[in-house]
Amino acid sequence: MGLIGLDMGPLSIVSQFGELIDGMFSHCLARYDNPDSSGRIFFGKDAVLLGTPTPMIINPESAPDHNLYFVNLVDISVDHTRLNIMPERFLPRSNGEGGIYLDTGTTLTYLFEDVYNELLWKVDEKVILPERFQYGNNLCYRGGKEDLEDGKSVPMVTFHFEGDLNIDLQPWNTFHDWYEEYVCLAIQPTSHRSIIGVWAQQDMHVGYHTKEKMIYISPANCALL
């Protein structure tokens, strides 16, 4: 068992494939609670690039992690109510620090602490599960997987990206179950860089066109692929 790199660095499989895939690939990660399914990855003409794209944010080559897939997250909604984040909050700074990127090597999603706190407050306001408690940085409630499927116990979170790409995160994208007795928010605070991890990318086609510097995200049932 090993790992493959999917970033834009010279050692990644994407860069090594070069013209064979014409800068295009996509992946679809099946839900964690389906043990009989797995993720799929597609290269070149088989890549799934659907819907409205959002542009990649290109960092200077001198910036740390400039080979990662940075995007501009312009706002977040909870049950269709905007948090009204400053649109430039998630743009990398001139020194290359800050920003938000998609990463298949990170499990959870990490947001800048000020945004996280605002999201936490709004999510907590909407959750109707009992026994709220904080476990480290984890906001948790007594509940189980069934509460993530009933369409009412936890709110819908939507990420709004530059280019009018709006992605609804389902409850299983924003919460995870813990010991089958609790559900915890799968989003953590950070003071460094924000990251959209694989938990938030479950059951989505995430497509990359590195030549056109565009990223496509669309809902899917990845177990059926």
pLDDT of residue 64: 66
Name the CATH superfamily for 13-224: Acid Proteases (2.40.70.10)
Phi and psi dihedrals of 203, rounded to 5? 55, 45
- The residue extents of the domains of the chain are 13-224
This prediction has a pTM of: 0.92
Q: Look at residue 61 and tell me whether its pLDDT is greater than 70.
A: no
Residue 144 carries which side chain, given as an amino acid letter? G
> What confidence tens digit (pLDDT) does each residue in 99-123 have?
999 999 999 999 999 999 999 999 9
Q: What is the pLDDT of residue 164?
A: 96
Confidence band of 97 (pLDDT split at 50, 70, 90): confident
For every residue of 146-198, DSSP letters joined together read: GGGTSSSSS--EEEEETTTEEEEEPHHHHEEEETTTEEEESEEEESS-EEE-G
Continuous H helices in the chain: 13-17, 113-126, 171-174
Percentage of the chain lying above the pLDDT 70 cut: 96
